[in-house]
Amino acid sequence: MSKLVEGLYYSISHEWVKILEGDEVLIGITDFAQSQLGDVVFVDLPEAGDNLDQEQEFGAVESVKAASDLIAPISGEVLEVNEDLVGEPELLNNDSYENWLLKVKMTNPEELEELMSVEEYENFIK
């Protein structure tokens, strides 16, 4: 069974969103996603200052057995990229909730309503 975290928003493409303060959020991939990928060997992420559009590709995660596009769960401006993952992408396998991908300033917080709760996501991945 994949690890799930209460209080996060989940997308059908297996990204999560955690609200920080105001309109700032963290985005990462779910435990289910990293377990399906296997050993992560490379992460391709946008740069600070880039803009994300909801449901559009913003990067990729590559493992020894597959590559998977990252799909933006919300729209916004990238404030920060988790540089630790560039040098150590396998951190996603250790804890995909602790090792976020991006810090983003949301441009449309209403988009959160289109994402799943932990209960909805749990049913989705069954």
Nearest to 50 by CA among 21, 27, 18, 22: 27
SS3 52: strand
Please give the Cα distance from 79 to 33 (Å, whole number). 24
- CATH number of the domain to which 56 belongs: 2.40.50.100
- Does 116 fall in a domain? no
How many helical (H) and strand (E) elements, i.e. helices and strands, does the chain have? Answer: 4, 9
- Does 118 fall in a domain? no
Q: Grade residue 43 by pLDDT with cuts at 50, 70 and 90.
A: very high
- Does 29 fall in a domain? yes
- Does 113 fall in a domain? no
Q: 6 pLDDT exceeds 90?
A: yes
* Span 93-106, pLDDT tens digits: 999 999 999 999 99
Determine whether 107 is exposed, middle or buried from the number of CB atoms within 10 Å of its CB (0-12, 13-18, 19+). Answer: middle
Nearest to 105 by CA among 29, 33, 40, 48: 48
- Does 1 fall in a domain? no
- Does 14 fall in a domain? yes
* Span 47-85, pLDDT tens digits: 999 999 999 999 999 999 889 999 999 999 999 999 999
Q: One-letter amino acid identity for 100?
A: W
- Does 2 fall in a domain? no
Q: 1 pLDDT exceeds 80?
A: no
Domain that holds residue 42: 9-107
Tokens 């399906």 -> residue:
36
What is the domain count for the chain? 1
- Does 126 fall in a domain? no
